[in-house]
Structure 1
Amino acid sequence: MSLFAHNLSTSIRTRKRRSHTIGLGAAIAAALCAATGSSPAAEGDRRGGIIRYGHYQEPPCLYAGWVQAGYIQRQYADNLVARTHDGRIVPWLATDWTISEDKLTYVFKIKPGVTFHDGTVLDAKAIVYNFERWLSNDPDKVNRNGKLYIGEYIRAVTAPEPLTLKIELTRPYQPFLTVLSTYFFGILSPAALERGPQELCEKPVGSGPFYVEAWNRGQNVLLKRNPNYNSAPATAKHQGPAYVDGIVWKFLKDNTVRYGSLVNGESDAIYDIPAVDWADAQKRFNVIQDITGGTPTRLQLNTARAPFDDVRVRRAFAYVCERQKAVDVAFQGSIPFNGNGALSLSTPEHLKQLANSYPFDPDAANRLLDEAGWTGRTRDGIRTKDGKRLTVRLLYAGGSLISSDGVVVLQILQDQAGAAGFDVVLKPIPQADWFAGKGRGIDDYEAQPAYWVASSAEIFKISWRPDQNGVVNANNASRFQPPEL
C-alpha cells in the first residue's frame, strides 16, 4: 500500500554563493565529488574552501546499510562501475570488462595506480577481499545487505592478475552490473576492514575524492579532500581531485533549524526541504528535486496475524485511506503521490496503471469489513469481532525513516481509517531500537511503513524474499511470501 514516492531528495543552495550545487538522490554516485568539481576549471572558478551541507538524518554507521549512510559513502568510496541517469553502465574502478556468451563470467580490468586513503594499493586482490566480506555469514561483517543482492548468484571471485578481476556466476543475473553500481558495493581498504566493526563504522577507509577525518556524533562528519584522487567515475565531468578542501556534513534534524541554516547563510546546501518552506525555497533558492528508484514509502500490512491475515480487511484498509489527499495535505505539493506501492515513479519498470488499483471507496471498505465479520461497534465507533477491537498498531521509526511531514501523513490516515471503524494506534520507536530490531517482532505490529532505495526491480529480491531456513526476512514486514513471488 503506497503512501508516497520515497526519498524525494532535495538540495538547495543560495544564489549569493558560487559554491557548486550538491545533488542528492538515486544517482548520487558523483554527487559531491562531481559537484565540487562538476566542470573543468574555467577562468574564475573558485578553488579551496569548505562546503557546509545540512542533512536531515544521521545513520548509526557510516558504512553501507541504510541509504543515509550511502550518501556519505559516495564521498569516500569508489565502485567497480557507475550508472548514468538513463541507466547505462559506465567505467569507474573498472576501465572495461567482458561478459561471456552464457552470461556467467565477468572479467574486469582494474584502473592502475589507485590507492586507498591509508596508502594501500587498490587492486583486484583488494576487491576480492571486499566480495568475500559481502558474501560472509559473519554478523560482524557490517555490510550484510550485499549478500541479499548477489549471494545466491556468486560461484567464485578471483584475481588471476593484479589488475584483473574475474567473477563467475551460478546462473545469469541480468541486473548484476546495475547492482554493483549501488552504494552497497563501495570498495574499502582490506587493511581498514580488519580493524573491526566499530572502527569501520566510525572511520571507514576508501579511495574516494574525500576521506573521513572525524565523525562527531550528533553534530557532523568532517570530510577532507583526497589530494591524490585519480579514480572518478565516467559520469563525472571533472576527473581529478575535488576543487574544494572539504565538506562539513552537518546533521540538522529539526526542520526549522535546517532550513534556517540555509536562510541565514550557515549552510551552503541542505537536504529535505520541510513542506511548510517548499514554496519559499522555490522562490529564494536553486531547488533540485530527485525521486530515487526502488520502492516508494509504503505501508506493509502484517498478513501473519489478525486482522490483516484476512484479505478482505487488507482491501478495506486500502479503500478507506484516501492516500493521495493525505500526501497532498501533509507535503503541500512538495512531492508527488505514487499510488503504485510496488515501485518508485522513477524506476524503469514502474507501471502507472497499478496506481488506480485501490481508489478511495469507503462504501467498499465498509462492505468488506461487514463480510469479514467485523460488524460490532464500540461506543467510540470502533468495529469489533468476537469481542475484539479492530486495532491496527502502526509501528514506525519516529524522526528517522519517516520525517515529521511523513508522520502527518500517518496521522491523516489514522483519522481516515477511523471513519470505517479501524482503531489505528501510531507507535513511534527510537531509531536505535528500530535498527536493533527491538519491538519489531511479527506479533508487535499490524502495519509499518518502509522504503528501499534501488536502481530497478531487483529490489523485489529484498522486499519480497521468503523466509529461508528458519531465518525471517525482516525486510518483508508484510510477511506475504507466496512461492511464486
Structure 2
Amino acid sequence: MHNRSPLGLVIPVAGLLALSACGGTQAARAPQGGAPVKGGTLTFAVNTEPTCLDPHQSPQDVTGLFTRPALDSLVALDAKGTIHPWLATSWKVSGDQKSYTFTLRQGVKFSDGTPFDAAAVKANLDHIVAPATKSQLAASYIEPYTGSDVIDDHTVRVNFSRPYSPFLSALATAYFGMESPASLKQPQDALCKQVVGSGPFVIDAWTPKQGITFHRNRGYNWAPANAAHNGEAYADKLVIKVITENSVRLGALTSGQVDAIASVPPVNVRQVKADPGLAVDVRQAPGGNYNYYPNTASGVFTDRRVRQAFRDGIDFATIVKNLYFGAYQPASSPVSPSTTGYDKGTETQWRYDPAEAGRLLDEAGWTGRDSEGYRTKDGRRLTVRWPFYKAAARENRDTLTEQVQAEAKKIGVDVDVTNPPSIGDFVTAFTKGDYDLVDFSWQRADGDALRNLFSSASISTPTRFGQNAARYSDKEVDGWLSDALDTTDLGRRAELYAKVQHKVTDEAAVFPVYVFNYLLGESKRVHGIGWEPQAYPTFYDAWVVQG
C-alpha cells in the first residue's frame, strides 16, 4: 500500500491507517472573541505533575501536557482520526506495511540550534527503544521497530519486523515528540529535568511541585497542517502551575490569578458555569477508563468467581454518580465510548448483583465468617491487597477507594489498602506482580489501547514495564489483538476489539469504574485552547485578551 500526503493535504485514517496513539495534536477550532491577540502570559494550573519530563521515558499523560508546547511530532492527529503533515511533509507506506518513508520539512531547527533532519528522526526513535532509556510507554508502541535508514538529509525510512498499522498515529503523540539529538546525549536523569524540542514554546525551567515556564519560540513557522494558524505562538509566555488542592486551584481561577485550570472539581462545575466570566470545557477521554485491575495470575483473584463477585457485588455506578455529581459517567467496558472500536454490548454484559456475588463466593469456598464479618476459607480471611499510591491520586480517587473498601466489606471482602512510600516502591511492586488489585486510567485515541491492557506481551517483569496490570494471558485474545495490528480495515479492527472487550469483561479481568472527562475551567478572556485527541489541552493557538 502506498500513499503520500503533500504539505497542506490530509490523509483520512479510515480506509488507510487506524488510530492507536496516546493522542495527537490539538483539534483545530476557530478563534473566538474576535481576532487573536499576540502577547502576554497564559497561566494554566494543574492538579498533578510528571515524575519525569522526558516523554520518551515517562508514561504519564501529564508528561505529554508539560512537554507538548516544546515538542513537535512528525505527523498530527485530529479528533476525527485524520493524519496531517507536521515535521514530515509527506510519507509513503510499503506494500507489506513493514516500512514507512518520510519526506521531512526543511528549515526546521531545534531551540538549541541543532538542525532537524533525517538523522534526528533516527536518533529519537533509537533513543525511545534503547534499553538505557527504560521507556515505560513509547517503546511499547513500536515494539516491532528494527531501525531507521537515513536516505538523505530530508528522507528517512523506518522499518518494522511485521506489518504495523498503528505507527502513524503513535508518531503523532507527544511521547514521540522530536527532541534535539544533542540533548539526547545527556544522561537519562538529566533528560527527566529538561527537554529540548523545536516546538512553538521553549522551556525555561521546571521546578517540581511548583510548575514549568516557557517562552515563545521566535521564528517558529512549522505548525501542523490542522492548527488554527501558522507562525509563532500568540502568547509571549506560557506558565503551567502545580496546585494540587482542588479548592485552592479553583480559587485561583475565580480570583483571576490564573487563566485556566485542569480538573474543575465535579462538585463545583455548576458554580463555574454560572459565573458570567468563566466557562467549563469538557472532553471525554478515549482509551482505557479509570479501571481496577485484578491480578489474575496470583492471589485471590486467580479464581474467576471471586473476580466476578467483587465486580458485581459493589455498586460502582451509584458510588460514581454520588461522588462526582454526574461529571463522570459509570463505566461498563474497559475502554470509553469515545474510543474507536468501543463495544456497546458491554453495557448490558454485567450488573450490580450482591446476591449473585454472595452465591459466587460461597461456590468458591469462602463460606466462613470471622469476628469482623469478613469471609474466610480454611481459616484464612478473604483479603485483597491494594497498593494505592496516594501522592499521585487525582479526581478524589482516594475518597472513591475508601467507599469501595466499605462496599466490599458488605460482601465480606477485606480490601487492604496500603500507601507505598514512593513511586519507585509502587513500580517495583507493580512490575513484580506483588498485589491483588491496582488502579489507573489509560488514555489512548484508539481501541489498540486494549493491546496495552490485555496482551500477554504487555505483562510487566522486573526488567520490563508493561501495562497489563491484570497480568491476563489468553491465546485467543492475543490472536485478536495481533490480527488488529495487521489490518487497516477499521470495520475489521472494530470487530476484533469488540471480541476482546467481550471476553475480558466476561472473565472479569477488569473492573470498570468511570469514564474520565477532562473538565477544563477557563476565563472568558482566554481563547483558542485546543485539545489532544486523548483529551488534554494544548496552547499553540491560545491567546488572552489583554488589559
Q: Same fold (TM over 0.5)?
A: yes
Amino acid at match of 2:251: G
Superposed counterparts of 1:19-418, under 5 Å: 29-30=25-26, 39=31, 45-64=36-55, 65=58, 66-138=60-132, 141=133, 143-152=135-144, 154-284=145-275, 285-341=278-334, 343-400=335-392, 402-418=393-409
Deviation digits for residues 309-362 of structure 1 (CA, Å, limit 9, x no counterpart) = 111101100110111111111111111222112x12211111121133220001
Q: Among 412, 425, 428, which residue is 1:421 paired with?
A: 412
Amino acid at match of 1:447: L
Using the TM superposition, give the Cα deviation of residue 254 of structure 1 relative to its aligned residue in structure 2, in angstroms: 0.7
Deviation digits for residues 122-181 of structure 1 (CA, Å, limit 9, x no counterpart) = 01111111111112122xx264522211122x2331110111111222221121111111
Asked if 1:448 is matched to 2:438, the reply is: yes
The corresponding residue for 1:464 is 454
CA RMSD, Structure 1 to Structure 2 (Å): 2.3
Q: How many angstroms apart in 2 are the aligned matches of 1:364 and 1:199?
A: 54
TM-score, normalization by structure 1:
0.88
Q: How many angstroms apart in 2 are the aligned matches of 1:337 and 1:210?
A: 37
Indicate if the aligned counterparts of 1:320 and 1:360 stay in contact, CA closer than 8 A.
yes
Structure 1 residue runs without a partner (length 5+): 1-24
Indicate if the aligned counterparts of 2:199 and 2:217 stay in contact, CA closer than 8 A.
yes
Summarize the Cα distance change of 1:214–1:73 in structure 2 as closer, same or farther, 3 Å threshold: same
Q: How many angstroms apart in 2 are the aligned matches of 1:41 and 1:269?
A: 16
Q: How many angstroms apart in 2 are the aligned matches of 1:62 and 1:145?
A: 13
Deviation digits for residues 22-43 of structure 1 (CA, Å, limit 9, x no counterpart) = xxx9756238xx79xx649965
Using the TM superposition, give the Cα deviation of residue 382 of structure 1 relative to its aligned residue in structure 2, in angstroms: 0.5
Using the TM superposition, give the Cα deviation of residue 428 of structure 1 relative to its aligned residue in structure 2, in angstroms: 2.8
Q: How many angstroms apart in 2 are the aligned matches of 1:398 and 1:281?
A: 27
Amino acid at match of 1:406: R
Indicate if the aligned counterparts of 2:455 and 2:472 stay in contact, CA closer than 8 A.
no
Indicate if the aligned counterparts of 1:63 and 1:143 stay in contact, CA closer than 8 A.
no
Asked if 1:479 is matched to 2:471, the reply is: yes
Summarize the Cα distance change of 1:101–1:76 in structure 2 as closer, same or farther, 3 Å threshold: same
Structure 2 residue runs without a partner (length 5+): 1-20, 479-547
Counting aligned pairs with the same residue, the percent is 33
Deviation digits for residues 402-435 of structure 1 (CA, Å, limit 9, x no counterpart) = 3152222222221221111111122233553356
Q: How many angstroms apart in 2 are the aligned matches of 1:227 and 1:470?
A: 44
Amino acid at match of 1:454: R
Summarize the Cα distance change of 1:469–1:442 in structure 2 as closer, same or farther, 3 Å threshold: closer
Aligned length: 450
Q: How many angstroms apart in 2 are the aligned matches of 1:42 and 1:149?
A: 41
Q: How many angstroms apart in 2 are the aligned matches of 1:74 and 1:447?
A: 32
Indicate if the aligned counterparts of 1:465 and 1:473 stay in contact, CA closer than 8 A.
no
Indicate if the aligned counterparts of 1:53 and 1:268 stay in contact, CA closer than 8 A.
yes
Indicate if the aligned counterparts of 2:98 and 2:159 stay in contact, CA closer than 8 A.
yes
The corresponding residue for 1:12 is none
Deviation digits for residues 283-310 of structure 1 (CA, Å, limit 9, x no counterpart) = 2221111122221110010122231111
1:448 is paired with a residue whose SS is strand
Using the TM superposition, give the Cα deviation of residue 46 of structure 1 relative to its aligned residue in structure 2, in angstroms: 2.2
1:381 is paired with a residue whose SS is coil
Summarize the Cα distance change of 1:216–1:470 in structure 2 as closer, same or farther, 3 Å threshold: closer
Q: How many angstroms apart in 2 are the aligned matches of 1:442 and 1:325?
A: 33
Summarize the Cα distance change of 1:396–1:470 in structure 2 as closer, same or farther, 3 Å threshold: closer
Summarize the Cα distance change of 1:340–1:232 in structure 2 as closer, same or farther, 3 Å threshold: same
Amino acid at match of 2:131: N
Indicate if the aligned counterparts of 2:431 and 2:465 stay in contact, CA closer than 8 A.
no
